[in-house]
A and B are shown apart, each in its own frame.
Chain A
């Protein structure tokens, strides 16, 4: 009698425990959406599609679902890989060269104006609307808005777009390596 009761008790409690565990293990979508937002915050938002996904948000979604690896973002470089690896708890690896190479300095697109024919193909290709122009009018890249995604380069039929180092502050700068010294606020 006592043995039967013992068996019943243990089976019952363990069954309840197991069922509760299983029930609690479902993943509601609210957490997933939060995670996608947090991953998206770490990405550089270049929208270049080099990671093979349709924009940075799509890559973030794939990362959250575990369908992509953390080293697929060349514009983000080492820093983004490290941040993603820390957030998702995955090993940090160098950026996979299959997806591209991280540039040594920020680059922006530049249109060679004498060659431009005003076809607007680059304007349609730019994911952040950084190119100004209209059909048969001169096109020009707003350097401050350009993310360096290179999507405009293959779209140009006369190949007049190149990448150049991004201008710093738009002002004349002293020679590199000279620190600007603040003379301090201590009287």
Chain B
């Protein structure tokens, strides 16, 4: 559980920093407000994460374990994530008003620690496909909650009287650290 939380928090940090970072790395075109961008990323994650995690779990169980190719796990997971990202990009383009922008979108989704980490955790701990799927959905929801909370805090602090030395990345790190402390309270709730 704590491992998952840690993964999600680090993913949130990456997402948030990318959403408010340099223009080229922004995942979507013409979404200037950080909160709107976070909502769009949440939507994309909702598509990518469960699909990727389930596909990874299935591949790991039925292909890698069967043929004893466990050493291929990491690159295979990343490659599957790439496919899932491309799929979600096409889906978002055709059904919503969002306009995913390269390279920001693909990099964010593919290298997203949340997707990869959840895949590894699912493959290691979940015995059946159903459990893996539920684990993935739960992780995605957790990611969305944390991401939106983090970005909301960032938006609030934007207009605040922050000392110059703390503005931008230092404040984001401090906020993430405090959120982590707060969420550590959840550790140990679910006894395995």
A101 lies within 8 A of chain B by Cβ: no
A23 touching B90 in the complex, CB below 8 Å, given contacts A5-B69, A9-B63: yes
> Is the contact region of chain A dominated by helix, strand, or loop, or is it mixed?
helix
Contact of B83 (CB < 8 Å), options: A6, A9, A13, A35: A13
Let me know if A20 is at the binding interface, CB within 8 A: yes
Known: A13-B76, A28-B93. A89 touches B86 (CB 8 A): no
Complex contacts, A21 vs chain B, CB 8 Å? 82, 85-86, 89, 106
B102 CB–A CB distance under 8 Å = yes
**Shortest distance from the beta carbon of B158 to any chain A beta carbon, whole Å:** 13
Interface presence of A24 (CB below 8 A): yes
Secondary structure dominating the interface of B: helix
Size bracket of the B interface: 20 to 34
Contacts of A9 in B (CB 8 A): 63, 69, 72, 76
B30: CB under 8 A from chain A?
yes
A100 located at the interface, meaning its Cβ lies under 8 Å from any Cβ of chain B in the complex: no
Which residue of B32, B79, B86 contacts A86 across the interface (Cβ within 8 Å)? B32
Q: List 30 A-B contacts (CB under 8 A).
A: A2-B68, A2-B69, A5-B67, A5-B69, A6-B67, A9-B72, A10-B76, A13-B79, A14-B79, A17-B86, A18-B82, A20-B82, A20-B87, A21-B85, A21-B89, A21-B106, A24-B86, A24-B87, A24-B89, A24-B90, A28-B93, A31-B29, A35-B99, A38-B30, A86-B32, A87-B30, A88-B30, A89-B26, A89-B29, A89-B30
Residues on B facing A (Cβ under 8 Å): 23, 26, 29-30, 32, 63, 67-69, 72, 75-76, 79-80, 82-83, 85-87, 89-90, 93-94, 97, 99-100, 102, 106
> Closest 10 CB pairs between A and B?
A20-B86, A17-B82, A89-B23, A24-B89, A86-B32, A21-B86, A24-B90, A17-B83, A13-B79, A24-B86
